[in-house]
């Protein structure tokens, strides 16, 4: 696995190559494959690209280019004549050893050479990345991420980890020099963890800790227990205390494992990877049920909607349902229950009560 600096250097090569006349459809395919290979690749490239566009907006570095416009392809020929990168050469790492950024007054009409524009843009890209990713050894980077009811949101952390928050969820993130810590305060989140062997990624909720290095998993904070779903890689699940204070053993989870941690310890189920992924379809706007008791299906819908479903009796609660449903279409789900099951719906203000019939 490449280090962050190696990934950023490779991303700068791709960006420089794409802006040259030598760019072709085969390069486009190779770039797409490189971006798809890792979330860290995508994050590094997008940040460099954004810094490049921001640099193009600076009039002092514009070399006569109108404000807000990115230099057109082909101007790399000018860079070649001045000793810069040749369009027909394979992409190489930018040489920033002699880069100097000159600040000029607006009245200064002297034009910069294109090689200076390229070097300055890449230098600004490095500054932008350092501002996003860097921190002093003695201080931590802390932020709160939260969603409201019926909201699903994805956020990329400064280390490249992608966090997808489910409805009505809240986490506190602390990135330190030797450790990345997340406190799941409520709700559920999926973590696509950027690999960093020197800084473990730990998610804590109540007395449980989930530790991973370069993997994808979800953690759900429920009233009675904690649910962990691993869809890629491996994680370590620990509980500080169970029952009357006994220390719980460590559970090692791999892709397809679903673990439930509660007062009685850890219970693990093994599923196929596709089944585990289906439990996380809420991120795409769906809830997937496979022969699930109606009481559990109702609880899932209620996580996402202000208009709650209620079960009037034990008989209706014992019905089992299956299928994929949009979590924001409560009415459609209720209509299906009325048509296909012995269920009668009582629609009241702010809630729908389901009765057996």
Give domain 141-277's CATH architecture.
Answer: Sandwich (2.60)
Containing 208, the helix (H) or strand (E) segment is strand 208-212
Residue 330: predicted pLDDT: 94
Instruction: Please state the separation of Cα 357 from the chain's center in Å.
Output: 45
Cα–Cα distance, 27 to 17 (Å, whole number)? 9
- What is the sign of the dihedral through the CA atoms of 55, 56, 57 and 60? positive
The SS3 assignment for 81 reads: helix
| pLDDT at residue 266, as a whole number | 87
Nearest to 91 by CA among 20, 146, 178, 147: 20
Q: With residue 9 as reference, give the H or E element that holds it.
A: helix 4-18
Q: What CATH number does domain 285-356 carry, 1.10.3720.10, 3.40.50.720, 3.40.50.300, 3.55.50.30? A: 3.55.50.30
According to the model, what pLDDT value does residue 53 have? 61
Helices and strands, number each (H, E), in the chain: 9, 18
pLDDT at 310: 97
If residue 326 lies in a helix (H) or strand (E), which one and from where to where?
strand 320-326
For the chain, what are the domain ranges?
A: 4-133, 141-277, 285-356
The pLDDT tens digits for 109-161 are 333 444 444 444 454 455 444 444 444 444 678 999 999 999 999 999 999 99
Distances (CA, A) of 65 to 12, 56, 57, 58: 22, 8, 9, 9
Q: Which residues of the chain have pLDDT under 70?
A: 1-5, 39-40, 42-44, 47, 50-139, 223, 241-249
What are the pLDDT digits (tens) for 187-231? 999 999 999 988 999 999 988 899 997 799 999 987 678 999 999
Element (H, E) at 31: helix 25-36
DSSP annotation of 89: S
Q: Rounded to an integer, what distance in angstroms lies between the CA atom of residue 160 and that of residue 196?
A: 10
Q: What is the pLDDT of residue 39?
A: 60
């Amino acid at each position: 696995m490449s280090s962050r600096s190696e990934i950023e250097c490779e991303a700068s090569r791709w960006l420089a190559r794409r802006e040259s006349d030598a760019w072709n459809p085969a390069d486009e395919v190779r770039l797409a494959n490189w971006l798809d290979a890792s979330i860290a690749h995508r994050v590094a490239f997008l940040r460099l690209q954004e810094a490049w566009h921001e640099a193009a907006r600076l009039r002092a570095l514009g070399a006569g280019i109108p404000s807000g416009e990115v230099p057109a392809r082909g101007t790399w020929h000018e860079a070649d004549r001045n000793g810069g990168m040749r369009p027909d050469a394979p992409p190489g790492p930018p040489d920033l050893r002699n880069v100097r950024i000159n600040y000029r007054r607006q009245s200064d009409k002297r034009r910069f050479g294109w090689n200076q524009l390229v070097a300055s843009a890449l230098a600004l890209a490095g500054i932008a990345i350092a501002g996003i990713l860097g921190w002093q050894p003695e201080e931590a980077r802390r932020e709160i991420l939260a969603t409201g009811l019926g909201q699903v949101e994805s956020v990329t952390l400064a280390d490249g980890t992608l966090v997808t928050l489910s409805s009505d969820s809240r986490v506190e993130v602390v990135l330190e020099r030797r450790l990345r810590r997340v406190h799941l305060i409520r709700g559920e989140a999926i973590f696509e963890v950027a690999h960093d062997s020197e800084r473990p990624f730990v998610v804590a909720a109540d007395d449980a800790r989930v530790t991973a290095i370069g993997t994808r998993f979800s953690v759900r904070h429920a009233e009675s227990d904690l649910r962990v779903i691993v869809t890629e890689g491996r994680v370590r699940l620990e509980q500080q205390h169970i029952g009357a204070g006994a220390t719980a053993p460590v559970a090692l989870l791999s892709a397809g494992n679903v673990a439930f941690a509660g007062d009685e310890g850890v219970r693990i189920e093994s599923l196929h990877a596709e089944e585990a992924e289906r439990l996380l379809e809420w991120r795409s706007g769906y809830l997937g049920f496979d022969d699930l008791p109606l009481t559990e299906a109702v609880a899932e819908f209620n996580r996402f909607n202000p208009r709650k479903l209620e079960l009037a009796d034990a008989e209706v609660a014992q019905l089992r349902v299956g299928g994929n449903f949009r979590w924001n279409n409560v009415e459609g789900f209720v209509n299906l229950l009325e048509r296909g099951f012995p269920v009668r719906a009582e629609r009241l203000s702010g809630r729908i009560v389901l009765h057996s019939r």
